[in-house]
Amino acid sequence: MNRKKKWIIYGIGLSLVLGGCMGNGVDEKQAEVKDEYARVQDYKGEGYFLNNGDENDQIAEAKSGEVERAVTDFFLEEYKTEVVVHNLVGNVDGVTVFVESTGPLHFYSSAIVPINQKAKEIISDEVRSQEDVVEEGIREGLYFKIFEEEFKKLDHYLEELASEKEVVGRTVKSLQNTGGSGFMTPYYTITSFNGDEAIQPVYDLYMEDPDTKTENLKSAFNTELFDEEYLTMNVILYMSEEKASPSKSLLEKVLKDLEGMDSIPNGTYQIIINDNGIHKESSEGYKDNSIKAEFIKSK
């Protein structure tokens, strides 16, 4: 293993300095802030919302069957991918639909279905996705497929780490309902950036025939063009205890362990440890006190 670079960043939490007595107003404010967050073990996506989407959310729910058909047809026609719909969330222009592929690749994604608010109609023939969102999910699913054994080693390590009860990952339900961001597990996500020349021949082969054998996909991968900075494994962990601060010693342990493993995928690794809270409305766990480390694992 050749470690190109490594750095650790410790988060600095924001402190509130008060002059004089702490009144009821401060107590109430703290209660409001606390109510914005859920224990990550309990969070399944409840409270997640997109700005100015309340009215469209109601229209989409009333016509959920029509919305779901439009989205499943979109993925099948545009990407030769069958998906199951997990969640509908209104947005300013329509509804964002969170989906999960059902094979042969596994990834999460999303699509946007426009809504005519005045007529309360679903515009089924104008379904779209954000730029490169679905393509990224397919690339990440392909990376997992052709390097499945290496990713399984990463899975095993993180599952063993979680079994020690100091940290946990997100619930699968929260990934389904608010994820929509490519290949995701409770403990990590993959990011494959547009312009990744190593995976492009694999992507092209898969889009020609989604039933292409794994051996052929592996043969199409251009090892010589692989650039670790185009593939990131985002390891995101949460402290198990509700009031526990992110552990610096644990971050250093995970960093050392992963750097020393030759059997996990090559690429850029970003390790983040958050406290126990996840923001209900945004599904974001990163905060001022979160800590992270990064390193590049190469051939």
Q: What is the DSSP string of 271-292?
A: EEEE-SEEETTT-----TT-EE
Looking at the predicted structure, is the pLDDT value of residue 175 above 80? yes
pTM: 0.88
Q: Transcribe 23-60 into DSSP letters.
A: -HHHHHHHHHHHHTEEETTT-SSTT---TT-HHHHHHH
Give residue-wise pLDDT tens across range 140-154: 999 999 999 999 999
Cα–Cα distance, 35 to 30 (Å, whole number): 9
Cα–Cα distance, 64 to 57 (Å, whole number): 10
Looking at the predicted structure, is the pLDDT value of residue 244 above 90? yes
pLDDT band at 252 (very low <50, low <70, confident <90, very high): very high
Cα–Cα distance, 62 to 24 (Å, whole number): 42
Looking at the predicted structure, is the pLDDT value of residue 24 above 80? no
Give residue-wise pLDDT tens across range 72-130: 999 999 999 999 999 999 999 999 999 999 989 999 999 999 999 999 999 999 999 99
Looking at the predicted structure, is the pLDDT value of residue 257 above 70? yes
